[in-house]
Amino acid sequence: MPFKRYVEIGRVALVNYGKDYGKLVVIVDVVDQNRALVDAPDMVRSQMNFKRLTLTDIKIDINRVPKKKTLIDAMEKADVKNKWENSSWGRKLIVQKRRALLNDFGRFKLMLAKIKKAGIVRQELAKLKKETAA
């Protein structure tokens, strides 16, 4: 039951409410019990309530309140973007975004693909069942 992801300077978090919804930000300083100073390469540094943030596993090595350039360099060094896009959470978000942009024809083709995949899986399962039954 212990906590594994801590609020600390350098913790990467996902914004889950508000104008910057869906952005990855870095906690750069803690203002008080409820708020953090937060920064990202494409955003003006601002304060955010912790309730608007969801902590991720990723942490980068920075000092308290680094300059923007230092922050960007530290993020490049820790390879935050690739780590995020290869994590299962990050991949799920990418798929969600892609599905939201599908048009009606795209959704139809997706349905056909799902049915086909399920058919193949069921065939393999039936084969395996037969082998274990025999």
Partner 1 sequence: MAAKRKTPVKTRNPDLIRGVGKYSRSKMYHKRGLWAIKAKNGGVFPRHDPQPKVPAAAEKRPKFYPADDVKKPLLNKRKPKPTKLRASITPGTVLILLAGRFMGKRVVFLKQLNSGLLLVTGPFKINGVPLRRVNQSYVIATSTKTDISGVNVDKFDDRYFTKEVVKKKKKGEGEFFEAEKEDKKKLPEDKKEDQKAVDASLVKSIEGVPDLKAYLAARFSLKSGMKPHELVF
Q: Which of residues 104-133 bind partner 1 (CB under 8 A)?
A: 104-105, 108-109, 112
CB-wise, 101 or 134, nearer to partner 1? 101
38, 24 Cβ separation under 8 angstroms: no
Angle at 29 between CA 25 and CA 35, to 5 degrees: 80
Which of 100, 115, 120, 133 forms a contact with partner 1 (CB under 8 A)? 100
**Residue placing its CB nearer to partner 1 in the complex, 110 or 126:** 110
If one asks whether residue 103 binds partner 1 (CB under 8 A), the answer comes out as yes
Q: What DSSP letter does each residue of 73-121 carry, written as one string? A: HHHHHHTHHHHHHHSHHHHHHHHHHHHHT--HHHHHHHHHHHHHHHHHH
**Of 102, 118, 121, 125, which lies in the binding site for partner 1, with binding defined by CB under 8 A?**
102
Binding residues vs partner 1 (CB under 8 A): 100-105, 108-109, 112
